[in-house]
Amino acid sequence: MATMNEAETRAKLIDPALHARGWTEDLIKREESAGAIDIAGRAPRRRAGRVDYTLRVKAHPAAQPVAVALIEAKAAHLPPTHGLEQAKAYADCKRLNVQFVFSTNGYLFVEYDRFSGQTGKPRPLADFPTPTELRVRYEQGMGFTLDDPAARPLSVRYAGGEATRRYYQDAAIRAVLEKVAVSARRGEPRRALLSLATGTGKTRIAVQLLRRIADADQLRRALFVCDRDELRGQALTALQNEFGADAAAVGAGNPQRNARVLVATYQTLGLEGDDAEATFLTTHYPANYFSHIVIDECHRSAWGKWSEVLTRNPEAVQIGLTATPRQVIGVRRTAEVRADERITADNVEYFGEPVYEYDLGQGIEDGYLAACEILQRDIFLDRKAQTEQESGVEQADLAGKRITDARTGAVLTAAEARQRYEATSFEARLLLPERVAAMCRDLFDHLVASGGPEQKTIVFCARDDHADRVAAELNNRYAAWCLAQTPRRWPHEHYAFKCTAASGGADYLADLRGASRSHFVATTVDLLTTGVDVPVVRNIVFMKYVRSPIAFYQMVGRGTRLDPPSEKVMFRVYDYTDATRLFGQAFLTRAAVYPGQAAAPADEPADDGEERERVLQVEGFDVRVSDAGQLVVTQVDGRTMPVTIEEYRERLADRLVAEAPTLDAFRACWVAPAARRELLDALPDGARSAALVRSLAHLDACDLYDVLADLAYGQAPRTRTERADAFEYKHGAWLASLPAPAAATLRALAAQFARAGTDGLENPAVFKAPEVARAGGLAALQALGNAADVLRETKERMFAA
């Protein structure tokens, strides 16, 4: 028994013991994530996801099971406490949202109780708590019973079954329903705040919440509030899929009082600004008209007049949804940052701390969001040193340049300009045509080099006319590129297009989402900052200075969605304005601040932003763009942050050596599929990290074995072809000692390795490959004894070569 691995321990020891204690299959849920995606030079491939064992209890036999515990199973030869800390990290309100954590090796178990914060001593698995015992302890800790009327939605089954939700969506839904039940029992306002990254399905969570509440006969009338027509349309579609005609959109003059679930924008309700009258709201919906209110994108709201929709319905269950981090630390405290902090503080003060959080890094790690690579670009005016951070333009810098009024074209003198223009005012107050041209040239060259210019891309610009100039510059470069191709290509219409509110940009969203022969690059100001679902977008570009962390996260969120039809599994952020600093201090690494970068004052005054100020266009600057580094978004100590490629490689190597201290130990793990999977799963970001390093290091011709052996043990990497060739000549004597069909089969298998690496060699269908089958195939290896043993020895020799 001591040699059993984790899977065998579960099957032979843990599962039988749980069933003996009353844990039937409907009470044991194997929560499996989608699995991170390997990004390599060949076709992207999804790895097996993480599997967590959750234990659930029921209010009655027909009820929806409620997850209350997590079991971390480890191999029988490990101590029972081995997986406890890992399990505790997955049990909290940022992952599975369960209250009891168990770690076991199949013989003994250890428990951590989140209610008390106490960790128990090892006990025999035969003493494991029964479902009834855990239900009683859960109810005592929560302060309600599953039979309480306020907790009834927890016991309502998912419409369409549990396949309709992901593990974190279930955790978020349970967290809200638990908070509402606790508040009702205590006589407190029933409010809850959810914080989930863009692309993780907040609207779907809200719909499932309302559906279960309705099925529990507790939904009288619900209001879903958002701040844009596009978001209203998306929410309405999702709600009508569940509620049919009982869900309706509120329109001007049409309060939809016959519908049970209303979808409205702040503007429709008359709540757009602090000076709004809210007449539509007060005229058509009396106080406490709604039993449930969902505030979508509540981080965008300024807690002004719009909050009247909440204060007029104090008896309603009120749920806030946000996609931004709850707290951003260490960012320069500009006026925009202070405003964001006020919104965050107001949200937390009103709703309470988020009952559940799921961030960008977790979504990437689980395989539900696209992997993110950041390319930082430094821009220099005239001949500033390349290590100098661009900081602004003095009036003296304008001497000798052509200066015109951007609106009238009138020629001006340098003396008619401001004494100083901060970099944050570039393209907003100071138009610099050469700067636009340099950034567009650099971006276009990167697009061509990374897969071609016809990639769906969003470029965030400073103002409407800046978006015009960027679109024109990119269109010109695209046309010139097409003419230079052999054979000549005809450029698609509307390659780059302006997509701003002032230009009616919403009309082009369908083309950006779906058109395959037009509308590739959208230049926008703020129309695409939030809520708009465009999964095909592969690049997010910052050509505007962003001061608001909330706005920054929303902009980045436009690229996070996966798009299986187009095989999109990752996206890039091109940062020309140091926008990625807004990940915050907790998200920065040693390489995020470059030599010569000046420290900003603690409180930077905001631009007054008054349109009456003259906007200047200045020509004659020499602009250069240089590489400032590549970053990878990952999780470090439970926090999502961008780290440099070098640091990412260091973290990967450190973890690999901790798991396999020597090259021999690493090789022994690699040739055993189960051990290799366990080893890769233990790496930062799981198996995805090795494939990502291979792609970034341009080692696509190498097997992951060589990538990792080079990274952690200093072994010079060989391509798959080189390793296959070395196997044949270094082990020629061994091959010659085998029967001819077996030797021919192994040589054919080596050729398969040269094409597809370790995974291709272990593919069950490999023996059906024509060259392998012709050589003798599986039968030739079986003639030597156990074919699996022969294949293992072949791999040992392959990687020893």
Q: At 424, is the secondary structure helix, strand, or coil?
A: helix
Neighbour tally for 342: CB within 10 Å: 12
Query: pLDDT value at position 42?
Result: 44
What is the DSSP track for 575-625? Answer: ESS-GGGGG-GGG--TTSS-TTPPPPPSSPPPP---TTSPPEEEE---EEE
Q: What is the pLDDT of residues 594-639, one digit of tens each?
A: 223 333 333 333 343 444 568 888 888 888 888 887 788 777 766 6
Q: Are 378 and 594 in contact (CB under 8 A)?
A: yes
Q: What is the pLDDT of residue 390?
A: 58
* Structural contact between residues 781 and 742, judged by C-beta atoms closer than 8 angstroms: yes
The answer, as to whether pTM is greater than 0.95, is no
Q: What is the pLDDT of residue 596?
A: 31
DSSP 8-class letter at 517? S
**Amino acid sitting at position 140:** Q
| CA separation for the pair 444, 491 (Å, rounded) | 14
pLDDT tens for each residue of 447-493: 999 889 999 999 999 988 899 999 999 999 999 999 999 888 888 87
Mean pLDDT lowest for which of 275-279, 358-362, 400-404, 556-560? 275-279
642/372 Cα distance (integer angstroms): 9
How far apart are the C-alpha atoms of 581 and 574, rounded to whole Å?
Answer: 13
Asked if residue 255 has pLDDT above 70, the reply is yes
Cis amide bond preceding 770, omega within 30: no
pLDDT at 594: 26
Query: What pLDDT score does 780 carry?
Result: 86
pLDDT at 591: 26
DSSP code of residue 263:
E
Q: Is the pLDDT of residue 338 over 70?
A: no
Name the range with the highest mean pLDDT among 76-85, 138-147, 665-674: 138-147
> Is the pLDDT assigned to residue 303 strictly greater than 70?
no
pLDDT at 587: 31
pLDDT above 70 (res 169): yes
**What is the tens place of the pLDDT at every residue in 511-524?**
888 767 789 999 99
In DSSP notation, 303-362 reads SSGGGHHHHT-TTSEEEEEE-S-S---S----HHHHHHHHHHHHHHHHH-S-SEEE-HHH
Instruction: Select the more confidently predicted residue: 279 or 222.
Output: 222
Residue type at 522? A
Beta strands 411-412; 66-73: pairing state: unpaired
SS3 181: helix
pLDDT of residue 801: 57
Cα end-to-end distance, the chain, whole Å: 34
Nearest-angstrom CA–CA distance, 577 and 76: 53
Q: What are the structural domains, with CATH classification, of the chain?
A: 6-142 (3.90.1570.30), 149-358 (3.40.50.300), 364-594+617-636 (3.40.50.300), 640-717 (no CATH), 721-800 (no CATH)
Q: Read off the tokens for 134.
A: 């855990």
Neighbours of 594 (CB within 10 A): 15
439-445: Cβ within 8 A, 24+ apart? 439/377, 439/379, 439/470, 439/543, 439/576, 439/625, 440/470, 440/473, 440/474, 440/477, 441/473, 441/477, 441/625, 442/377, 442/576, 442/625, 443/474, 443/541, 443/574, 444/474, 444/477, 444/478, 444/481
CA distances (Å), origin 27, targets 63, 167, 261: 11, 15, 33
Mean pLDDT confidence for 326-348: 55
Which residues is 54 bridged to in the sheet? 29, 70
- Please give the residue that has the higher pLDDT: either 203 or 227: 203
At 333, the pLDDT band (50, 70, 90 cuts) reads low
| CA–CA dist 89, 684 (Å, integer) | 15
Q: State the chain's mean pLDDT as an integer.
A: 83
3-state class (DSSP) for residue 56: strand
Q: Higher pLDDT residue, 306 or 482?
A: 482
Collapsing DSSP to helix, strand or coil, 387 comes out as coil
Strands (E), 351-444: 356-358, 371-381, 392-394, 402-405, 411-412, 420-422, 430-431
With a cut of 50, say whether residue 794 has pLDDT above it.
yes
Strand partners, 195: 322, 357
Distance CA 193, CA 324 (A): 12
Of the candidates 473, 514, 519, which has an alpha carbon nearest to the alpha carbon of residue 495?
519
3-class SS of residue 519 = coil
Q: Is 388 exposed, middle or buried (0-12, 13-18, 19+ CB in 10 A)?
A: middle
Question: Any idea which residue has 């610009």 for tokens?
Answer: 461
C-alpha span between 433 and 427 (Å, rounded): 9
pLDDT for 299: 56
